[in-house]
Structure 1
Amino acid sequence: MTKPQFPQVLSIAGSDSGGGAGMQADLKTMQMRHVFATTVLVAITAQNARGVQRAQVLPPAMIDAQFAALAEDLQIKAVKTGMLADSQTVQTVVQNLQRYDFGPLTVDPVMIAKGGAPLLADEAVATVRDQLLPLATLITPNLPEAEVLTGQKIRTEAQMRQAAEHLQALGAANVLVKGGHLGADQAAVDYVLLANGRDFWLTSPRVATANTHGTGDTISACITAELAKGVDLATAIRVAKAYVTATIREGIQVGHGHGPLNHWAV
């Protein structure tokens, strides 16, 4: 009997020992979306719900070896990046993404952990902007990340739109600017600008909780999973927004700080 071939996806990210964000959040999300998740680990963190205590970056040769092993045997249909740590790591990832065709690329430009610890060195921001963004099918920054990449303050919905246009001009084909930091009382709003010029807003009710660790990883991982299944980008973004909203709304309590999402939510 022929066994079914499941879509295979790739997470390029750092490990979160607390299980709430990073590669662990990606794997949980991808499993829930019924795709087969593979990984290229670029960094290890010692962290929990209270924050990051320590981080160590893997050597480029080990990152290269992981890419080569996957390309030799698997059929990756979509890929995402998360924590990339420093400029050398970003360059290593870029070179491998240029070497291997792993399908559409979602870039989650992770810069700061929920507890405030830096996850991308200052010197690496330009490398992400100049070398990684032009490869991206979609980039998914939150407002602080979008501010760093564009060099402009974002305090209004109009400025979210302007930031998306700026990021698109930098080379990202499609842009999702996540507005969770905007400070609106009643709703969380995100702005989507597509390569064909179409745009739309996504709105969800705010939930009074501190347990939002891993939201950026989760929404980008869900989008990646849907793209691997052949779903069009606009629909994939809407599915991911609905999923991450459910993971927050149907929350769980783990740890004593910024707790994780409920990846079992449906």
Structure 2
Amino acid sequence: MALMPKILIVAGTDPTGGAGIVRDIETASHFSVRTGLAVTSVNVQDDHHVGTKLPMNGDIIRGQMLAALRSDKILAIKVGMTGSPEIVEAICSVLDNFSDIPVILDPVIRASSGGVLADDRTVTVIKEKFLKYCYLVTPNLPELATLTGEKLSENHSRTIEQAKKLLASGSKYVLAKGGHETGEIAIDSLVSSSRTTNFSNARLNATMRGTGCTLSTAIACAIAQGKSLEDAVKTAKNYVYQLLRERTASFSKS
């Protein structure tokens, strides 16, 4: 029997399991992918607010990542909440020696409840030092605006322009997510220096915490299983869409 592929998840905690590492592990389990972990921050948060955050120091981050990377073959690295400039720099120092592993960054800046998870200094270090290590970045529209230092995109053409600015900062691909746009069709765009591929679904009247965690982890899992990036995005989007459809159905019955 073939060994299950393994990814490394670098992210913060959520005691409710609605987002963060718990949601990442659940997603990987669905795709039959094993996980190694590096906890960046221990958080007290729920659906309504973010309370206390306890970021780990850089040495702890490096130690966790190196232990995971040296113990097994890691086929993709998913990074979520970083939490501090020191943590971003610690992650970069490890990635310097593992440049062959694709890194998928879900640039967690604010929680769904509105709490800040990455301050301005952290965002600056992500832009200036981290993006060059990224195979794929998966920002929603507010995150895309923050990372480019611009206003929230008002149309999809502007969204693509902002995504290309992240490419100029070093990321190989950007998946610009259209969940915050309006209209009957939700469009996510996979942008590279040479092409843009759109993924469209009917917009659902449902929200769910942790969709960014789920999507980025599902992409990492599909890449670890040998899928192309476009197929990995399609697989991940279909999974998230199904979760949202189930949530819509449960609301309609209640």
* TM-score higher than 0.5: yes
1:86 maps to what in 2? 84
Q: Deviations over 1:26-78 (max 9, x none)?
A: 11111111111111101011122222222111122211211221122111010
Higher RCO by CA contacts (8 Å cutoff, separation 6 or greater): 1
1:258 maps to what in 2? none
1:34 maps to what in 2? 32
Equivalent of residue 211 in structure 2, options 215, 236, 241: 215
CA distance in 1, matches of 2:225, 2:35: 12
Query: What runs of 5+ residues in structure 1 fail to find an aligned partner?
Result: 254-261
Q: Secondary structure at the match of 1:251?
A: helix
2:201 maps to what in 1? 204
Structure 1 letter corresponding to 2:19: A
Q: Secondary structure at the match of 1:190?
A: strand
2:96 maps to what in 1? 98
2:142 maps to what in 1? 144
Aligned length: 249
Matches within 5 A, 1:1-266: 3-101=1-99, 103-153=101-151, 154-182=153-181, 184-195=182-193, 197-210=194-207, 212-251=208-247
Q: TM-score, normalised by structure 1?
A: 0.89
- Tell me if structure 2 keeps the 8 A contact 1:7–1:228: yes
Structure 1 letter corresponding to 2:243: T
Q: Secondary structure at the match of 1:185?
A: coil
Q: Secondary structure at the match of 1:88?
A: helix
Higher mean Cα deviation, 21-30 or 67-76?
A: 67-76
* Cα shift at 1:194: 2.7
CA distance in 2, matches of 1:252, 1:76: 35
* Cα shift at 1:152: 2.2
Q: Secondary structure at the match of 2:36?
A: strand
Q: Secondary structure at the match of 1:9?
A: strand
Q: Secondary structure at the match of 1:38?
A: strand
- Tell me if structure 1 keeps the 8 A contact 2:164–2:192: no
CA distance in 1, matches of 2:87, 2:33: 26
Q: Secondary structure at the match of 2:37?
A: strand
CA distance in 2, matches of 1:102, 1:59: 25
Q: TM-score, normalised by structure 2?
A: 0.93
Q: Percent identity?
A: 30
Higher mean Cα deviation, 152-161 or 8-17?
A: 152-161
* Cα shift at 1:5: 1.3
Q: Secondary structure at the match of 2:12?
A: strand
Structure 1 letter corresponding to 2:159: M
- Tell me if structure 2 keeps the 8 A contact 1:46–1:53: yes
* Cα shift at 1:102: 6.4
* Counterparts in 2 of 1:108 and 1:83: CA distance versus 1, 3 Å: same
Structure 1 letter corresponding to 2:156: E
Q: Secondary structure at the match of 1:18?
A: coil
Name the Cα RMSD after superposition.
1.7
* Cα shift at 1:252: 8.2
Q: Secondary structure at the match of 2:13?
A: strand
